[in-house]
Amino acid sequence: MAIVPELIRVFIVEDENLVRDTLAQSLELVNNINVVGSSDNISSSLEDIKMAKPDVIIVDVRLKDENGIEASKTLVKVMPSVKIIILSGYFNETLAANALAAGACAFLSKSIAISHLVAAIFHVMVHNSFYAPQFPDEVLEDIMVKNRTSKRMCALSKREKEVLQLIAKEYSTKEIARMLHISEKTVRNHKSNIMTKLGITSHVGLIKYAYYMAMI
The 10s digit of each residue's pLDDT in 159-201 is 998 899 899 888 999 999 999 999 999 999 999 988 888 778 8
Same domain, 37 and 126: yes
Domain span at residue 196 reads 158-212
Same domain, 25 and 119: yes
Per-residue pLDDT tens digits for 110-168: 888 899 899 999 988 887 677 887 776 666 666 665 555 444 555 778 899 889 989 98
Same domain, 105 and 68: yes
What is the DSSP secondary-structure string of the chain?
-PPPPSSEEEEEE-S-HHHHHHHHHHHHTSTTEEEEEEES-SGGGHHHHHHH--SEEEEESEETTEEHHHHHHHHHHH-TT-EEEEEESS--HHHHHHHHHTT-SEEEETTS-HHHHHHHHHHHHH-SS-B-TTS-HHHHHHHHHHHHH--TTTTS-HHHHHHHHHHHTT--HHHHHHHHT--HHHHHHHHHHHHHHHT--SHHHHHHHHHHTT--
Same domain, 162 and 63: no
* Residue 78 falls inside a structural domain: yes
What is the model's pTM? Answer: 0.68
Per-residue pLDDT tens digits for 22-57: 999 999 999 899 999 999 999 889 999 999 999 999
CATH number, domain of 188, equals 1.10.10.10
Residues with Cβ within 8 Å of residue 36, at least 6 apart in sequence: 9, 10, 11, 52, 53, 54
* Residue 33 falls inside a structural domain: yes
Same domain, 63 and 166: no
CATH number, domain of 63, equals 3.40.50.2300
Same domain, 192 and 102: no
In angstroms, the CA 60 to CA 107 distance is 10
User: What's residue 91's pLDDT?
Assistant: 72
Q: Does residue 212 carry a pLDDT above 80?
A: no
